Structure 1
Amino acid sequence: MSFPDLLELHPGLGEGIRGKLTANQPLSAVTWFRVGGPAQLLFQPADEADLATFLSRLPEDIPVLPVGLGSNLLIRDGGLEGVVIRLSAKGFGSIEEVGNHRLKVGAAVPDKRLSEAAAKAGLGGFAFYTGIPGGVGGALRMNAGAHGTETRDRMVELIGIDRQGQRHVLSNADMNYAYRHSEAPKDMIFTEAVFEGEAVSEEVIRQEMDEVVAHRERAQPIREKTGGSTFKNPPGTSAWKEVDAAGCRGLTVGGAQMSEMHCNFMINTGQATGADLERLGETVRKRVFEHSGIRLEWEIKRLGHFGEGDAIEPFLGAYKEQG
């Protein structure tokens, strides 16, 4: 599937822009699942000012979606209408110590690199990021966390560029963080954030980081094409326990499979489509619902148009029939 070229429809859109603009750019290469159709327009801004200029002239009716490292994202096979914005390491990948046990971090920085920088600076409280396969922008958006710590425990303030190209400074309280959720405007692009840790020896931090890595290697299919945790943990239980109890460990649909190692992880075994993965997830949700009455919520974001003939109902109709 291809979309009308936005640069041809809006000739002034790219004028003076220093970043890279690409029409109908396939997105499978930028997601960990390695599936997905094209972006109508992919924009990789040179820096914050370039991003603000572009957004200020982009017509209001054109959707905007920021995409980070693509670890928690399933792009459907029909692709994404509108503009996908991907921040580069060159323009948004800096880390700076700013005093008072704080780091100013670009939104394109991988979570693991943030953890490493904090360790070198002797700042504790960031080791949990070692095991999160995403970037700072996504962590800010979804309140990423692990091992009892979440982004909201460390973030002090962030910079966001809104749909009109205006720059905003948001506090931790402004984000209204909850479990794997924030209430920031969906089309706001985060560019950097300030995080605060506590003084801890690097040796102690390294030990904690090693424990996180060891746990991840033992428990998660980190060498597979996966997107991390598929479903949020329901109140009072773990998603993987409910998936396992419903008989879905190792379940396959086409080229997609619930991991045998950790059954809350979906993997692309090699030739999966976006539809295979989403259909597998909804099949699991249906079976868990029928087994325990629990309605698992997706943690992975599914976005874009379905491929032709591939529309997939939530719960495969189970929610509609019984809920």
Structure 2
Amino acid sequence: MSAALEMAHASHLIDRLPVPRGRLTANAPLATVTWFRVGGPAEVMFKPADAADLADFLAGCPVDVPVTVIGVASNLLVRDGGVPGVVIRLGRAFADIVVDGVEIHVGAAALDLNTAMAARDAGLAGLEFLSGIPGTIGGALRMNGGAYGRELSDVVVSATAVDRRGRGHVLDRDALGLTYRHCAVPEDWIFTGATLRGEPGDRAAIAHKMHEIATSRADSQPVRARTGGSTFANPPGEKAWALIDRAGCRGLMIGGAQVSEKHCNFLLNLGTATADDLESLGEEVRRRVHETSGIELRWEIRRIGVPASVKPSVGSQP
């Protein structure tokens, strides 16, 4: 399908969507915002002006139009054919961080690192681990993000979300159903914010711990490469990287994609990889690990969209 026809399809979809106060963009590039730097476009990108704009848009969005939300795309693989329907990306209106005593009220688009820094500046301990997670609070909620011995479930008090019909919800920690790299909240609900709790601590000690985390990441992970973070979740009682290493996958390549030699639970775009290269490499790693250990690795990287052979036209009408 030509670029002109693709744009026509996207324009038809926009014609079916509510008119928000925020920004709608047809055929919006996604590769430039993902850490892997690969993938096709969003059929339509929506950046809501605020939470009310998001709710109104969802309430008026036709139910047959797929809706996908992304953050800073640090743990995301967008397939080469792009993403059908509407991709929602929360912006500055969802990035506020407010400290109130031992609690921090934070928007879903706030960076985990910025949240950890705000806690440090307020003398709140217990949230240092967030500085080791390269993403947003919304993403951390969706996968119960964790690092260096702690998870979001250890510090979250409650979260706010909007469902596919535009209805708002406040969920306490139990309602979130957080377990290892899992959240029980329906996939089509969009997190808009959270309240986290720390405990009084010494600012210098908190800063020192965050420095140790940053140093550990730089020493053990390919933090300056085009990567999507940790690729597979750790199976019970096992380390994914060790299983991958024992399966002989360290340095394995398909096309322009490679299993990192520095930390083999990371996939790298060496500069010419497609999303298909990366996903195929991940599946080959899964196959070899299962062949050598009997263990099925579970993707931790979120994969969205369709292959290059399929163009996003689900939400369009002729």
Match of 1:315 in 2: none
Q: Deviations over 1:6-27 (max 9, x none)?
A: 5534636343x11110011121
Q: CA deviation at 1:307?
A: 1.3
Once residues 304 and 3 of structure 1 are traced to their aligned partners in structure 2, the CA distance between those partners, rounded to angstroms, is 17
**Within-5 A mapping of 1:215-254:** 215-254=216-255
SS of corresponding position for 1:108: coil
Could you tell me the TM-score, scaled by structure 1's length? 0.92
Code of the residue aligned with 1:94 in structure 2: it is D
Once residues 309 and 67 of structure 2 are traced to their aligned partners in structure 1, the CA distance between those partners, rounded to angstroms, is 23
In structure 2, the CA distance between the partners of 1:218 and 1:51, relative to structure 1 (3 Å rule), is same
Match of 2:84 in 1: 81
Match of 2:315 in 1: none
2:73 to 70, 73, 80: 70
Alpha-carbon contact 1:25-1:41 (below 8 Å) kept: yes
Match of 1:13 in 2: 17
Match of 1:41 in 2: 44
Code of the residue aligned with 1:79 in structure 2: it is G
Match of 1:269 in 2: 270
| 5+ residue gaps, structure 2 | 311-318
| 5+ residue gaps, structure 1 | 310-323
Match of 2:280 in 1: 279
Q: Deviations over 1:27-80 (max 9, x none)?
A: 101111011111111000011011111111001111111100101110100111
Q: Deviations over 1:72-128 (max 9, x none)?
A: 110100111111100012x111111123x0010011111110100000011111111
SS of corresponding position for 1:207: helix
Code of the residue aligned with 2:17 in structure 1: it is L
Could you tell me the TM-score, scaled by structure 2's length? 0.93
Taking only aligned residues, the RMSD between alpha carbons, in angstroms, comes to 1.4
Once residues 44 and 29 of structure 2 are traced to their aligned partners in structure 1, the CA distance between those partners, rounded to angstroms, is 10
Q: Deviations over 1:265-296 (max 9, x none)?
A: 00100010000000000011111111111111
**Matched residue pairs, number?**
306
Match of 1:317 in 2: none
Once residues 8 and 303 of structure 2 are traced to their aligned partners in structure 1, the CA distance between those partners, rounded to angstroms, is 23
Once residues 286 and 134 of structure 1 are traced to their aligned partners in structure 2, the CA distance between those partners, rounded to angstroms, is 28
Match of 2:188 in 1: 187
Code of the residue aligned with 1:67 in structure 2: it is I
2:95 to 93, 96, 101: 93
Match of 2:30 in 1: 27
Match of 2:166 in 1: 165
Once residues 99 and 135 of structure 2 are traced to their aligned partners in structure 1, the CA distance between those partners, rounded to angstroms, is 21
Once residues 147 and 7 of structure 2 are traced to their aligned partners in structure 1, the CA distance between those partners, rounded to angstroms, is 38
Once residues 307 and 8 of structure 1 are traced to their aligned partners in structure 2, the CA distance between those partners, rounded to angstroms, is 21
In structure 2, the CA distance between the partners of 1:253 and 1:19, relative to structure 1 (3 Å rule), is same
Q: CA deviation at 1:175?
A: 1.0
SS of corresponding position for 1:74: strand
**Within-5 A mapping of 1:123-202:** 123-202=124-203
Once residues 13 and 153 of structure 2 are traced to their aligned partners in structure 1, the CA distance between those partners, rounded to angstroms, is 41
Match of 2:298 in 1: 297
